[in-house]
Amino acid sequence: MAFHINGRRLASEIEQHLAAVIQRHQNRAGRPPGLAVLRIGDDPASGVYVNNKEKACERIGISRHGAHISKDITLEEMLHVIHSMNEDPLIDAILLQLPLPSSLDPGILLEAISPEKDADGLHTLNLGRLLKGEPGPRSCTPSGIMALLANNKIPLEGQHAVVIGRSILVGKPMALMLQSANATVTMAHSHTIDLSSITRQADILVVAAGSPQLIGARHIKPNAVVIDVGIHRVPIDEITENGSKSYLCGDINSNELEEIASALTPVPGGVGPMTVAMLLTNTVMNWGNRCTLDNPLEDLVSF
């Protein structure tokens, strides 16, 4: 039976640490950290994610400066909103909740966010810092995965890691972080031929494909560690015990992998909570840098 890597537990520990950091340094800083989450339009999933992030901010003492913006906003108007937040001294981190309406170019808007207020490590400057191994905000989901691997003492050096997915949000920064930890990394994607022949080589398999239950028993070798980034609500014909007509799943078929993998992340409760924890971490780190605090996160879990 595979060991389930508990993201909720570690995320809670990180939140407790960050709350203590804020309490310890807030008087010197003169204010709490500030996070602005920009939600554009009425995508239901985005609403849930933003709500989770706002609740996490409230738990640890981060001031919220979010905005729910009409899907009809123009690019010029949205750039003005971001510029105003760049200039706001009470805001330390700005998160643009994706996906955006088709009328808005996420690349232009992400580049408009000040690198010093980048909450998700997606500005070109911060991606370059990641590539060079320099400090800076890191993409939240890959950072959360690295923290989970470190906390559970899963070795990376010399291991073969396969990353399915090549997005700038997860796949590409994930590969860079694994390489920095001395893993040998292979990237796969929607155009990869004979995917299972690649994934069966993986000691560590990170699945960020965006396809429900894509990975099954035939895709992994015995004792592999499998990290499931996906989350999907899949409709079903019959109503479940709790009255739902759908169920949550990830990019892996966890039932098939239970007896083969050595460890896996559950959905929900695996990678998701860690993504939020790393958003909070980036916010507090930006706050510390902007308020010239002395290494406020030096004793945070290493990743």
Q: Which residues are catalytic?
A: 53, 97, 120
Which of the 8 DSSP states describes residue 117? G
Cβ-based neighbours of 237, under 8 Å, separated by 6 or more: none
| Integer Cα distance of 224 and 202 in angstroms | 7
Strand order from edge to edge, sheet including 225-228: 3-4, 263-264, 225-228, 204-207, 160-164, 184-188
Place of tokens 């709790």: 242
Torsions phi, psi of 94, nearest 5? -125, 125
**Residue 100 is encoded by which pair of tokens?**
């955006």
Q: Is 5 helix (H, G, I), strand (E, B) or coil?
A: coil
* Closest alpha carbon to 2 in 282, 271, 258: 258
Please, which residues bridge with residue 38 across strands? 67, 96
* Closest alpha carbon to 150 in 204, 215, 106, 108: 204
Give how far the C-alpha of residue 184 lies from the chain's centroid of Cα atoms, to the nearest Å: 22
Q: Is 59 helix (H, G, I), strand (E, B) or coil?
A: helix
| Integer Cα distance of 111 and 122 in angstroms | 8
